[in-house]
Structure 1
Amino acid sequence: GKGHIRYNTELIEYQQDDLGVTATIINRETGTKEKIRSNYLVAADGAKSTIRQYTKIPTTGRGVVGGHYINIYFQADLSRFLKPSQFGWIQILNPEVFGALITVNNRDEWIYHVAYNPSNGESPEDFSEERCCEIIKKAIGVSNLDIVIFSILPWEAAEQTATRFQDNRVFLIGDAAHLMPPTGGFGSNTGIQDAHNLAWKLAAVIHKQAHPRLLQTYHDERHYAVELTTKYASDLLFSVIKKGVSTLNSMDHTAVTVGYKYNSTAIIEENSDTPHRMDQLELNGRPGTRAPHMWLKYQGKCISTLDLIGENFILFTGKDNSLWRTAARNVSSHLGVPINVYSISLQGDCVECENSWEAVYDVTSQGAVLIRPDGFVAWRTKEE
């Protein structure tokens, strides 16, 4: 069914039993309480997650690692200063003020981050609307600017990871599961990856296509990837502010974002003596890693292998794939799990544009690769 988004609504408590979760929500405007019964509860309620506190799952990590900041969300028409440049984030440094300007709509809504130092007696209370307007004017470099302040909120760069991402029928994702400094820009990616990993598993279990044990692989797969990313973001921050020595500077940013490998019962491992490298991006169809991109011609259009990934499992094969098609059809009807089969060859459903799929996915012409709905390789065989 369709999802419903409720605004001004807070989850205040929940109970779980063997069959599901009963949550109590309250409308903050009317005070009306309501009970909702569901199979599962996904805690995507941010850094101060009420649900994580309720689960009593402990966290590990270095805590506050990079100072204290004020987040000033404001309205001002800055278009005359910026034409025609577009940016997401810009650091402003001048003798009077030091901070970062972040765009909300690249026209008249912005966020300005400015640091404060509690050890010098500074506190969030020092940042009145008047002072924040002065800070923004100094940062922009003009004295006559119409500014409307929407909010002034303190925040701290922190490193914190929940020790478990699952409590029976409750799953922690995003900032509720892990906090990391903004260095490197990994926070949003990591939260979206959590959701991507969990969504297809929940769908499979709810549609009775998989045993609920599949849901345990969410923690098994994501926790390691998150710990690695969180540590890297902190190390980057330390190397910037010289608080410590970064041990990961040799790593590639893209490898941290998309190059990790999952290990769980939802991956059929290959017998390999070579460990997966994390210091550089190495995607070649190995089970547990992201399916690599290659260009294909499909139904008259040029697309990426990644464009075929989505709702169902996918089986990529070479040109002689009638046996694979039959096998996929049998497995699909036996398990009730849809599998899309694509033959990649000069005569197949998908025609190679630049690279040979055998080289990109490290298989022979008789090989096959099974890809999960989240785009990770579940299994590979190099021959038939």
Structure 2
Amino acid sequence: MIDVPVLIVGGGPVGLTASIFLSRYGVESLLVERHPGTAILPKARALNARTMEMYRQIGLEDDIRAVAMPACFGDMILWSESLAGAEIKRLNPGRGTGANQGLSVAGSCGCSQDLLEPVLRRGAEAAGTRRVRFHTELTELACTSQGVHATIQDAEGRRQEVRARYLIAADGSQSRIRTQLGIDRRGERDVYDSVNIHFNADLTPWVRERPAALYLIEQPELRGTFLTINGTDRWGFLVTSLSHYGFTPEQFTPAFCTEVIRRAVGTDELQVKVLGVSAWKASALVAETYRSGPVFLAGDAAHEMPPTGGFGLNTGVQDAQNLAWKLAAVLHGQAGDELLDTYDAERRPVGQAVTRSSLLNALSMGRTARQDEPVLPRKEFLNEVGLVFGATYRSAAVVPEDGQSAPPADAVQDYIPTAQPGCRAPHAWLQEGERRFSTLDLFGRGFVLLTGAHGQAWADAARHVTGLTVAVTSVGDGGIAPADDAWERLYRLGNAGAVLVRPDGHVAWRSRSGVADAVQALHAALALVLCRGAARSGSGA
């Protein structure tokens, strides 16, 4: 029998990220993945700036960028009749404008999933290789009020019993765990069908002078997209809306794939080596709940969305970040079980919003019918700055303040940086001597209390917190100083004010000025955020 606090089922980016975060917070987990190794096809490629902030905070940003596509390919999207043919349109994504890049210390990154997963696997295995088991499948699962009892089986047929307090189901869109639990999904199923072709070919003659993340090909008999992987000889080609153009997945033999790729490039002479082919259908579905007793859905198991916008992987790994610190707080006795219900309350609205936006992107590109003329996307496509940075949580793990400003009218495209409770704590440059760093570099390990220059009472209060470490950074007290006006403008603290930031980088509570009893105020805020004293229901949503 293996006894472990958390069992993770699924070894893709979401499961591996959950394992890394749990280890970071001092929680042992066991991850099982039925496949023999990490992804062999590129699959997802876009890591948005919010995700890269998260990986920066756990020390993986440099490793990911080292295997990513050259950054110059991320600045443009191009439509054309073929790579060698007439251009139709160039688009510079709104997410990549100078103003929007200034919203974060970490820019977006194009890294295909088959290159990302080994980086994450090494990060997860750093806590102990026995905690990560590939070629190992969950075969039986029973849930009780005390946790889960599972049976796992390795490639040689050896079985082991596992007992865990909690289980993270990161087992993909076809999640067997979700099915067993009877959790329904709402939305649109099988919106359109596609085939991904992974191949080697030297496309530099057509892309060298116009690097782009996507090259969308618009022909009367073929609609597809070249997906940049390394920008030279390794690519993906996504053929969309198969059935509307008379294709079937069975047609895509290596020889037929080569023919299709040559047609899309616009030359019969190209040397092509097909590395892999995968057929799939795009759906837009969100689970009715992300929690059932001791089991939590994350990633595609919780929300399945079209890739138009690149939100699937990002939303999933951010689920893992949100859930991991809450599991750790409960398992360490710092929080009540009700805190775990806030995972659904916070992340399911995000999943619904990004799934809806991704679906609307796909519909605007005409992917549900045959098109005789080029169809360009809606204006929101790749301009979804609000969806990247603007998630505002409303749950028991946030203490609202009076007079909170209204959200932007366009929550998809617009983002207003603010340190209001529930919002992502914004990026602001700070200075300590010769060292320049971001407020974001302070987050990711535990609770952080940022104070104004006269915040000594808050620092003293943090030292009185028992059973939990609250790191304190005072800004403007002679040591650490604002590097520009962003700190004052975005955090809006008086000299004696304080803001409490959760381990996931979202603001939990704020006091814009000093108070008569800082110890009592901070303790009360933490008690609310951590749901202390709440009845341990364990029943989930």
After TM superposition, the score normalised by the length of structure 2 is 0.65
SS in 2 for 1:21: strand
Residue 264 (structure 1) aligns with: 395
Alpha-carbon distance between aligned partners in 1 of 2:346 and 2:378, rounded to the nearest angstrom = 23
Alpha-carbon distance between aligned partners in 1 of 2:167 and 2:186, rounded to the nearest angstrom = 23
The amino acid across from 2:443 in the alignment is I
1:57: how far off?
0.4
Residue 377 (structure 1) aligns with: 507
Out of 13, 17, 21, which is 2:148 matched to? Answer: 21
1:228: how far off?
1.4
1:184: how far off?
1.9
Q: Alpha-carbon deviations, 1:334-362, whole Å to 9, x = none?
A: 2x1111111111x3442111115332112
Residue 7 (structure 1) aligns with: 134
Residue 319 (structure 1) aligns with: 453
Residue 253 (structure 2) aligns with: 128
Following superposition of structure 1 onto structure 2, how do residues 295-314 of structure 1 map, counting pairs within 5 Å? 295-298=429-432, 300-314=434-448
SS in 2 for 1:39: strand
The amino acid across from 2:457 in the alignment is L
Out of 174, 179, 182, which is 1:48 matched to? Answer: 174
1:121: how far off?
5.6
The amino acid across from 1:71 in the alignment is N
- Does residue 115 (structure 1) correspond to residue 115 (structure 2)? The answer is no
Which segment drifts farther, 307-316 or 178-187? 178-187
Identity %: 38
- Does residue 277 (structure 1) correspond to residue 411 (structure 2)? The answer is no
Alpha-carbon distance between aligned partners in 2 of 1:116 and 1:126, rounded to the nearest angstrom = 14
The amino acid across from 1:379 in the alignment is W
Residue 225 (structure 1) aligns with: 350
Q: Alpha-carbon deviations, 1:257-304, whole Å to 9, x = none?
A: 211210111000112364323522122110000001110013631001
Q: Gapped runs of 5+ residues in structure 2? A: 1-27, 29-126, 370-376, 515-541
- Residues paired across the two proteins, number: 377
Q: Are the aligned partners of 2:398 and 2:507 in contact in 1 as well (CA < 8 Å)?
A: yes
- Does residue 339 (structure 1) correspond to residue 475 (structure 2)? The answer is no
Alpha-carbon distance between aligned partners in 2 of 1:81 and 1:337, rounded to the nearest angstrom = 57
Q: Alpha-carbon deviations, 1:296-331, whole Å to 9, x = none?
A: 013631001001111111111111122111111112
Q: Are the aligned partners of 2:429 and 2:487 in contact in 1 as well (CA < 8 Å)?
A: no
1:202: how far off?
1.3
The amino acid across from 1:225 in the alignment is V
Q: Alpha-carbon deviations, 1:216-243, whole Å to 9, x = none?
A: 1100111112111211221222233297
Which segment drifts farther, 67-76 or 78-87? 78-87
Out of 130, 153, 158, which is 1:32 matched to? Answer: 158
Residue 76 (structure 1) aligns with: 201
Shift in CA distance, 26/136, structure 1 to aligned 2, threshold 3 Å:
farther
Which segment drifts farther, 178-187 or 373-382? 178-187
SS in 2 for 1:325: helix
Q: Are the aligned partners of 1:89 and 1:102 in contact in 2 as well (CA < 8 Å)?
A: yes
Q: Gapped runs of 5+ residues in structure 1? A: none
Q: Are the aligned partners of 2:147 and 2:164 in contact in 1 as well (CA < 8 Å)?
A: yes
Shift in CA distance, 260/356, structure 1 to aligned 2, threshold 3 Å:
closer
Q: Are the aligned partners of 1:292 and 1:360 in contact in 2 as well (CA < 8 Å)?
A: yes
Shift in CA distance, 136/242, structure 1 to aligned 2, threshold 3 Å:
closer
Residue 493 (structure 2) aligns with: 363
The amino acid across from 1:42 in the alignment is I
Residue 294 (structure 1) aligns with: 428
Q: Alpha-carbon deviations, 1:1-49, whole Å to 9, x = none?
A: 5253322232233112232222222334x33333332221111111212
SS in 2 for 1:224: helix
Shift in CA distance, 343/226, structure 1 to aligned 2, threshold 3 Å:
same
Residue 98 (structure 2) aligns with: none
